[in-house]
């Protein structure tokens, strides 16, 4: 966009430029703001940025105890409460915890598996592979799993996350070590999960779900950093698999249940809210801690869910390519969580609740929460594309903690609503176009192809370039899709 054009943009007129990819929403934008907003966005991506996203950033900046900035990533767009792509940290004593800063799909996240297969050796089997994965892994709205768990087992899932799956034969020890936080959030309390959430979650463990959730067979088509790629076990031409899903109906119900309690807590504690979708309570209050304990249950369920799907994916590959296939987990990252973390703020170490709503953790080298494998490289940061567009692997940098509380973008970010996409785009035509590019797509519901079409999303390349240029996380590898299953 030329300089004279961007100046006519309503969003541009609101923002204060810090550098080409860093902009502030000034505290004067809304009289209730306690801190500025800060959004990482290029001029090109700004063309599609809604003013309402800035309004949501300003609303978050008005919450008690917020630290430094109300932030948004380059994939930001309108969400519930927080913008999707929103990041905010709240002081443990003076701040709040808000489900609007986490979302309904608690710990929607991504994991990446690398294989010892090369794409040219795999292409002849892609259709078979996609069909077998589709048949093995339940997908679609309300899909149910063949995996049956008792109430007691479900409690164990809520408490132990990915470790529960490994302990029950769905994976290996190294899988847990390569999950963010070892595949769980401490402090989960199953007593805070309602009967309805249990009812919804029990039959859905080991299911992909619908919407933007997917399992994608890919290959590494470009390496940006040979040294870090080697640490991650990635090389050009290598086949990989990405799994993107969350806590299913259990997480949605947990969010709904606790939103009701926290809506009442707003009145109890006399919190002035600019938006009722930001229902919250003081971080150390009973209501906030009850929600946090239930949210941890949903997050842990999501890690167990991805771990089970991970195991079944390995079985499908072994059935086609033989038992000697290598399928190792590179990493698993969470979106849509609040975490209790320590950060240095204005030169002082503080304990805060970091809300990442459609944002990915991006911790730096030598961070104590990273496994030994990634102490030198920094955390793998996984950014999925949208069906026909590339995904990216990045690594957290030494500057990420200061820039964004160790947080990066989580995907491309929607351009069109699902309703608009269904109206404007033909699923049949999109499927043909993807097939012409060598991408096989299998869906439970054909409508999902138009809803989740590449055209419905921002450019994953442009979004990732902003994060890279700002220095939050640096590009390591690009992954191109060859086979996708969706709900």
Query: Residue 54 burial (CB < 10 Å; 0-12/13-18/19+)?
Result: buried
Token pair 């900046």 in the structure block, residue? 61
Whole-angstrom CA distances from 368 to 131, 186, 354, 374 are 41, 16, 17, 10
Query: Residue 482 burial (CB < 10 Å; 0-12/13-18/19+)?
Result: buried
Q: Which one of the listed residues 355, 395, 410, 468 is annotated catalytic? A: 410
Q: Which residues contact 199 (CB under 8 A, 6 or more apart)?
A: none
DSSP characters over 384-423: ---SSS-EEEEEE-TTHHHHHSSEE--S--BSS-HHHHHH
Q: d(Cα 76, Cα 411) in Å, to the nearest integer?
A: 9
The CA angle 77-82-88, to the nearest 5 degrees, is: 110
DSSP helix/strand/coil, 238 = strand
Task: Assess whether 213 carries a catalytic annotation.
Answer: no
DSSP 363: P
Whole-angstrom CA distances from 333 to 61, 80, 360, 449 are 26, 21, 7, 25
Query: Residue 17 burial (CB < 10 Å; 0-12/13-18/19+)?
Result: exposed
DSSP characters over 130-166: HHHHHHHS--STT---S----HHHHHHHHHHTHHHHH
DSSP characters over 56-111: HHHHHTTSTTB-S-EEEEEEEE--SSSPEEEEEEEETTT-EE-GGGT-SSTT-EEE
Q: d(Cα 111, Cα 368) in Å, to the nearest integer?
A: 21
Q: Which residues contact 463 (CB under 8 A, 6 or more apart)?
A: 45, 73, 74, 75, 383, 409, 411, 412, 413
Q: Which residues are catalytic?
A: 410
């Amino acid at each position: 966009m030329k300089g004279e054009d961007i100046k006519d943009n309503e969003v541009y007129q609101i923002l204060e430029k810090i550098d080409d990819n860093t902009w502030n929403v000034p505290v004067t934008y809304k009289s209730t703001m306690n801190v500025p907003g800060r959004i990482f966005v290029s001029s090109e991506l700004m063309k599609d940025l809604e003013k309402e996203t800035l309004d949501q950033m300003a609303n978050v900046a008005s919450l008690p105890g917020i630290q430094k900035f109300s932030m948004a990533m380059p994939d930001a767009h309108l969400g519930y409460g927080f913008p999707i792509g929103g990041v905010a940290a709240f002081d443990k004593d003076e701040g709040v915890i808000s489900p609007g800063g986490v979302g309904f799909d608690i710990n929607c996240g991504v994991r990446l598996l690398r294989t010892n297969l090369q794409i040219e050796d795999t292409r002849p089997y892609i259709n078979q592979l996609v069909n077998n994965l589709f048949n093995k892994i339940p997908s679609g709205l309300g899909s149910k799993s063949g995996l049956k768990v008792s109430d007691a087992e479900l409690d164990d899932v809520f408490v132990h996350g990915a470790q529960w799956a490994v302990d029950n034969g769905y994976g290996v020890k190294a899988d847990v070590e390569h999950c963010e936080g070892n595949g769980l959030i401490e402090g989960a309390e199953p007593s805070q999960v309602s009967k309805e959430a249990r009812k919804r979650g029990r039959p859905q463990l080991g299911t992909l779900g619908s919407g933007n959730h997917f399992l994608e067979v890919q290959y590494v088509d470009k390496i940006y950093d040979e040294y870090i790629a080697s640490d991650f076990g990635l090389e050009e031409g290598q086949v990989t698999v990405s799994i993107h899903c969350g806590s299913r109906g259990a997480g949605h119900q947990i969010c709904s249940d606790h939103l009701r309690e926290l809506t009442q807590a707003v009145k109890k504690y006399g919190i002035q809210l600019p938006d009722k979708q930001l229902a919250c309570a003081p971080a150390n209050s009973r209501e906030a801690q009850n929600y946090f304990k239930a949210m941890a249950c949903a997050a842990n369920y999501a890690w167990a869910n991805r771990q089970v799907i991970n195991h079944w994916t390995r079985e499908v590959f072994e059935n086609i390519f033989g038992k000697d296939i290598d399928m190792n987990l590179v990493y698993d990252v969470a979106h849509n969580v609040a975490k209790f973390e320590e950060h240095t703020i204005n030169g002082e170490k503080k304990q805060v609740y970091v809300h990442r709503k459609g944002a990915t953790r991006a911790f730096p080298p030598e961070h104590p929460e990273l496994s030994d494998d990634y102490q030198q490289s920094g955390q793998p940061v996984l950014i999925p594309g949208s069906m026909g567009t590339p995904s990216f692997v990045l690594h957290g940098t030494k500057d990420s903690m200061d820039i964004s509380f160790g947080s990066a973008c989580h995907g491309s970010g929607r351009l069109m609503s699902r309703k608009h996409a269904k109206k404007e785009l033909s699923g049949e035509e999109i499927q043909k176009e993807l097939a012409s590019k060598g991408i096989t797509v299998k869906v439970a519901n054909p409508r999902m192809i138009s809803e989740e079409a590449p055209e419905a999303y921002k450019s994953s390349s442009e979004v990732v370039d902003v994060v890279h240029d700002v220095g939050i996380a640096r590009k390591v590898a690009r992954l191109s899709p060859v086979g996708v299953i969706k709900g």
